[in-house]
Amino acid sequence: MPSSFNKILHIITRLDMGGSAQNTLISCGLLSNKYQVVLVHGLSFESNMPDSEKLVVEDGLKNAKNNGVKLISVPFLVRRISPLNDIRALFELLQIIKIEKPDVVHTHTSKAGILGRLAAKFAKTSHIIHTPHGHVFFGHFGSMLSRIFLWIERLFGILTDRVVVLTNGERSDYTDRNVYPEDKLVQIHSGVDIEKFKQSPVSAVEKKRSLGLAQNGLVVGFIGWLLPIKGPMHLLKAMEDVWRDYENTVLVFIGKGDLDVDLRAAALKTGANGRVNFLGWRSDIEEIMPIFDIFVLPSLNEGMGRVLVEAMAAGKPVVASNVGGIPDLVQHDYNGLLVAPGDEKALATSIKHLISNPQKAKLMGQRGREFCRQFSVESMVDKIDNLYEDLFKFHRPLRSRHRPARHREPDYFRSGEAGGERREKIFFPDREIPIREKSQPSGEEQNKNY
């Protein structure tokens, strides 16, 4: 074990604006002032990111690098099953791990979890952690392929020291299916910058005008991947029932995915007459969320539903599927309403119930704003840090090795002066949280190339 500080090597298949990628990038940046952090990633071309999304991701990578995170790309690390690329990626990951000699290999998502853990085991890494960011045991694939993934994960569970689950629901899915033993599971939720969504920099009236939306009528919003697993088609069909009673209600889809074309075609067939709006991928979600009167997430399977926390932080009542980790976030009839996944009638009934009971909807939004505090970025990073510390089995004071650059979204770090002593602080709007620091790595370690 290193005498000065520990090295954490993260492996993830792709970096985009999805929840798994963003949480990984955030935690790497925030913990790079205490640990040596290496982030190994694929090239993310499978995400089909528009230029605007690419710019945001590239900006995040630049800031991570400025904060001391070492970035290594592996072109053969792809999401789809590709035997030749997978074998090449495995050997490249093995070489990287042998050179870097990390104390912990922390893998994220399915493909990187399989190849990364296997490479870490071959390299005899001391500690192996895996964060699935939700599982694929149902809802994603057919029954046969789902069973194959289940058995693979059971096998790789033997190689894993700790598995990070996002919610109680995910924990139960693993234990009920005998995937992982209870003593290997550590629950750490996805973190959200709560303050960014509590107060939008623009008014809802101005945002509606800029998006070309009518000022009258309620807005039902969806944000996420336009994929079957997220249930957007179920929401569109449910809205046909809603429009029979509330014809001025507008439906807004934000996101991208394979169902984009099909959803647009289905919207035309419903005769919605401009009541369905497709805004594509957006980088200004904190400005758009306030225009929603009701937020809906009709997923068929969901690890956690990070966007639900964002909606609650903005004070929005929620209608969501009673599946996966969502019940950890949405308490039925308290801060939202839960429905069976795929039940379009129940979905429509719940939306109409909130439209017809505006005071109840407002109260649910207020409760959600208070309830979501426990899902902050600070809490997530603190728990990840505790997980590493528990593995290392010791604590020590650490000295600063660099002055981190300021991150734009969110601003992760800011330097401060206190009593003549310089400290580093995590910076979020209106508050500062002191963090522990680490010592300077050697020049040889910092300048290794591949």
Question: pLDDT digits over 151-179, tens only?
Answer: 888 999 999 999 999 999 889 888 988 88
Distances (CA, A) of 150 to 180, 185, 332, 414: 11, 16, 30, 44
Rounded mean pLDDT, 360-374: 96
> Does the bond joining 181 to the residue before it have cis omega, within 30 degrees of 0?
no
Out of 26-30, 102-106, 311-315, 347-351, pick the least confident: 26-30
Architecture in CATH for domain 194-374 = 3-Layer(aba) Sandwich (3.40)
Question: pLDDT digits over 208-223, tens only?
Answer: 999 988 888 899 999 9
Single-letter amino acid code for the residue at 200: S
Question: pLDDT digits over 219-273, tens only?
Answer: 999 999 999 999 999 999 999 999 999 999 999 999 999 999 999 999 998 888 7
Report the distance separating Cα 336 and Cα 312, nearest Å: 9
Please answer whether residues 293 and 218 qualify as being in contact, where contact means their C-beta atoms are separated by less than 8 angstroms: yes
| String of DSSP letters for 42-56 | ---GGG---HHHHHH
The CATH code of the domain at 7-191+376-446 is: 3.40.50.2000
Question: Within the chain, which residue ranges are assigned CATH 3.40.50.2000?
Answer: 7-191+376-446, 194-374
